[in-house]
C-alpha cells in the first residue's frame, strides 16, 4: 500500500523507458540504474505521471501524446510525459555538468570533476525547461516529487514560476559531499538555492542530510536548526532527512522462485562446472570500483592458488554514459585487466573471469543471483547500492554471502550481516573472498536471513510511504 491522496508527479532526468519513434512506431527501451529500479514499481502501483527526458537527442511532437506504461491486471500503470533535448544540450547538461561536474564531485572524485561555464549555463537552462514542463501538467494540488542531481535547480525554478503554493519534495539518489568538498564547486550557492525550493529534501543517509545542512549554514550563511534538521528560508520551512532507498523485495524473490530460473541454471554450470560463482553487477562506472575489484581477484588467485579452477567471477557491466571520455577510458582499462588476469590464470577451458558488457533482463539476472554463491560489491563510493539488496532478495536458498564495500550507503543497514571490506584494500577483499568460500552453512544462513528480513521489512513501498507520510505529517 502506498499512502497519499494527491496526484503524484515524479520528475527525473530520464523517464524509465527511452522512447523513440521509428518508422511511425513508438519503441520503448527500459532505462538502467537504481532510480528506475526503485521508482518504477511505486508508480506502477500507485499511478500518476512521470516527467523526464526521452533518452535520445531530438524530439518528435508525436511523442507528446498520452503514453501509458506499467498497466496490467493488478497495477494502475502511469503516464509518461516527455522532454526533448538537442545533441548540444545533452553534451553540456547531461554529459557535461550533471556527469562530469556534479557526479564526480558528489562521489568524492574531486580531481575528476570538470568545471566549465557552458556546462553550467546549459544545466540551468534545462532545469528551467523541466520546471516549465511540470507547470504545463499541474494545477497546483499535486505532489511533485523531483529526483536526483541532474535536477537540483528545478525545484526553485518551479516555485519562482508559479503563483500557487506548490508541494515540492526531492530525493537525492547519490551521496551529498561534506562542506569542504562541496565548496569546490564554483556554482555551490546556485545548487543549494535550487534545492531550497523544496519542502522536503531526502537523502540516502542522515550523514548526507547533515552535509547538506552544513553547506547551507556555511555557504549561504543560513540559520540551521540541526536538532530538528530544518531551515527557515524565504518564509518557508525546509526539512532534510535520510531515507535509505530499497527495492521491491517480493518481486525479486518471486522472480527467483519462478520455474523460469531453471533454464538459466545451465548458464551457471557452463561457467565452470562445479566451481563456486562470485557475481558482480553494476553500470560501468568508475565509482563502482570495478578495476579495484579485478585487481583483488588477481590478488586472490595469487595469494590462494588452491582456488584456481574452483571459483569463477561473473562480472556483468551494464553500458552507461558511453559517450563520456572517462567512461570510454574505463571500459578500455577494464577490458585490458580482464584480458590480463584471464591470460595469467586461465587453465584449459577454465577462465577466472567471465565478463559481460550488457544489460540483462530482470528474470535472467534474478536467476544468476539465485545460483551465485557470493555477491561482491566494491563501490568506491555509492549513495546506497541496490545490488546487494537484489542479490539477497533472490537468494531463496539462503546460503549465499554478500561481501559489501563499507563506502556504500547500504553498509549502514546491511553491514552487520555481510562481510564488510574497504574496496581499496585488495588484500582485505581477497581475504574476504576466502572467508566467504569457507564460511559454515549455518553462519551463511543466519546472515542471509538477517539480510532478507531487513530488505523485506524496509522494501521500496515502505520507503515511499515513509517519505510521503513524513511530508504529509503535521509538524
Is 321 a binder of ligand F6P (CB under 6 A)? yes
Report whether 33 contacts 320 (CB < 8 A): yes
Find the part of the chain contacting ligand F6P (CB under 6 A) among 28-36, 234-242, 247-255, 423-431. Answer: 28-36
Per CB under 6 A, does 33 bind ligand F6P?
A: yes
Select the span of 29-37, 77-85, 130-138, 430-438 touching ligand F6P (CB under 6 A): 29-37
CB closer to ligand F6P, 158 vs 245: 245
> Contacting ligand F6P (CB under 6 A), which of 57, 320, 449, 466?
320
When the beta carbons of 33 and 400 are compared against ligand F6P, the nearer one is: 33
Residue number with CB closer to ligand F6P (390 or 431): 390
Closest distance to ligand F6P from the beta carbon of 390 (Å):
14
Nearer to ligand F6P, 52 or 400 (CB): 52
Short-list 250, 242, 143, 248, CA closest to 198 = 143
To ligand F6P, the closest distance from the beta carbon of 270 in angstroms equals 30
Is 15 near ligand F6P (CB under 6 A)?
no
# residues contacting ligand F6P (CB under 6 A): 12
Piece of the chain touching ligand F6P by CB under 6 A; list 34-42, 59-67, 434-442, 458-466: 34-42
CA distances from 209 to 13, 94, 113 (A): 22, 24, 22
Compute the least distance from the CB of residue 379 to ligand F6P, in Å.
12
Chosen residue from 81, 107, 129, 173 binding ligand F6P by CB under 6 A:
173
Does residue 389 belong to the site contacting ligand F6P (CB under 6 A)? no
Rounded-to-integer distance, Cα 291 and Cα 388, Å: 19
Residue 34 interacts with ligand F6P (CB under 6 A)?
yes
Locate 263 and state its grid cell.
Answer: 533454464
User: In the bound complex, what is the minimum distance in angstroms from residue 33's beta carbon to ligand F6P?
Assistant: 3
Query: Hey, which residues between 239 and 258 contact ligand F6P (CB under 6 A)?
Result: none
Does residue 292 interact with ligand F6P by CB under 6 A? no
Interaction between residue 148 and ligand F6P (CB under 6 A): yes
Residue in 374, 381, 372, 383 with CA at minimum distance from that of residue 405: 381
The footprint of ligand F6P on residues 37-96 (CB under 6 A) is none
Q: Which position's Cβ is nearest ligand F6P?
A: 33
Q: Is 282 in the site for ligand F6P (CB under 6 A)?
A: no
295 binds ligand F6P (CB under 6 A): no
> Does 431 sit near ligand F6P (CB under 6 A)?
no
Measured from the CB atom, is 33 or 41 closer to ligand F6P?
A: 33
Q: Which stretch binds ligand F6P (CB under 6 A): 30-38, 245-253, 372-380, 394-402?
A: 30-38
174 touches ligand F6P by CB under 6 A:
yes
Cell digits for 20?
Answer: 523513440
Q: How far is the CB of 363 from ligand F6P (least distance, A)?
A: 21
Contact residues toward ligand F6P (CB under 6 A) are 13-14, 32-36, 148, 173-174, 320-321
Amino acid at each position: 500500500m502506498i499512502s497519499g491522496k494527491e496526484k503524484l508527479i515524479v520528475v527525473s532526468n530520464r523517464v524509465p523507458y527511452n522512447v523513440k519513434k521509428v518508422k511511425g512506431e513508438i519503441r520503448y527501451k527500459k532505462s538502467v540504474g537504481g532510480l528506475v529500479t526503485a521508482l518504477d514499481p511505486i508508480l506502477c502501483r500507485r499511478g500518476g505521471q512521470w516527467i523526464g527526458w526521452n533518452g535520445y537527442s531530438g524530439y518528435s511532437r508525436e511523442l507528446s501524446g498520452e503514453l501509458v506504461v506499467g498497466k496490467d491486471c493488478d497495477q494502475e500503470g502511469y503516464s509518461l510525459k516527455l522532454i526533448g533535448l538537442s545533441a548540444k544540450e545533452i553534451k553540456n547538461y547531461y554529459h557535461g555538468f550533471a556527469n562530469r561536474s556534479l557526479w564526480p564531485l558528489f562521489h568524492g572524485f574531486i580531481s575528476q570533476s570538470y568545471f566549465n561555464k557552458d556546462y553550467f549555463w546549459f544545466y540551468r537552462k534545462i532545469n528551467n525547461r523541466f520546471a516549465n514542463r511540470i507547470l504545463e501538467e499541474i494545477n497546483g494540488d499535486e505532489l511533485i516529487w523531483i529526483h536526483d542531481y541532474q535536477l537540483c535547480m528545478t525545484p526553485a525554478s518551479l516555485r519562482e514560476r508559479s503563483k500557487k503554493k506548490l508541494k515540492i519534495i526531492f530525493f537525492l539518489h547519490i551521496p551529498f559531499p561534506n562542506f569542504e568538498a562541496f565548496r569546490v564547486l564554483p556554482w555551490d550557492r546556485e545548487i543549494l538555492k535550487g534545492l531550497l525550493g523544496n519542502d522536503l529534501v531526502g537523502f540516502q543517509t542522515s550523514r548526507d542530510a547533515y552535509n547538506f545542512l552544513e553547506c547551507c549554514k556555511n555557504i549561504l550563511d543560513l540559520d540551521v536548526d540541526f536538532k530538528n534538521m530544518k531551515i527557515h528560508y524565504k518564509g518557508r520551512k525546509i526539512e532534510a532527512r535520510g531515507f535509505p532507498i530499497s527495492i521491491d523485495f517480493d518481486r525479486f524473490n518471486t522472480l527467483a522462485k519462478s520455474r523460469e530460473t531453471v533454464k538459466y541454471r545451465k548458464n551457471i554450470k557452463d561457467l565452470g562446472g562445479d566451481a563456486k560463482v562470485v557475481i558482480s553487477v553494476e553500470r560501468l562506472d568508475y565509482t563502482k570500483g570495478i578495476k579495484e575489484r579485478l585487481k583483488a581477484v588477481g590478488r586472490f588467485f595469487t595469494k590462494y592458488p588452491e582456488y584456481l579452477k574452483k571459483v569463477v567471477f561473473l562480472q556483468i557491466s551494464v553500458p552507461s554514459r558511453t559517450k563520456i571520455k572517462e567512461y570510454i577510458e574505463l571500459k578500455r582499462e577494464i577490458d585490458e585487466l580482464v584480458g590480463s588476469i584471464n591470460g595469467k590464470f586461465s587453465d584449459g577451458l577454465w577462465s577466472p573471469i567471465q565478463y559481460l558488457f550488457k544489460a540483462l533482463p530482470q528474470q535472467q539476472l534474478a536467476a544468476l543471483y539465485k545460483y551465485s554463491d557470493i555477491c561482491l560489491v566494491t563501490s568506491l563510493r555509492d549513495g546506497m547500492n541496490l545490488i546487494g539488496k537484489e542479490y539477497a532478495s533472490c537468494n531463496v536458498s539462503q546460503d549465499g554471502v554478500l561481501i559489501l564495500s563499507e563506502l556504500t550507503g547500504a553498509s549502514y543497514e546491511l553491514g552487520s550481516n555481510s562481510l564488510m571490506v574497504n574496496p581499496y584494500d585488495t588484500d582485505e577483499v581477497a581475504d574476504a573472498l576466502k572467508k566467504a568460500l569457507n564460511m559454515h552453512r549455518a553462519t551463511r544462513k543466519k546472515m542471509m536471513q538477517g539480510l532478507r528480513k531487513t530488505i523485506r521489512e524496509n522494501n521500496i513501498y515502505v520507503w515511499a510511504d515513509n517519505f510521503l507520510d513524513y511530508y504529509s505529517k503535521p509538524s
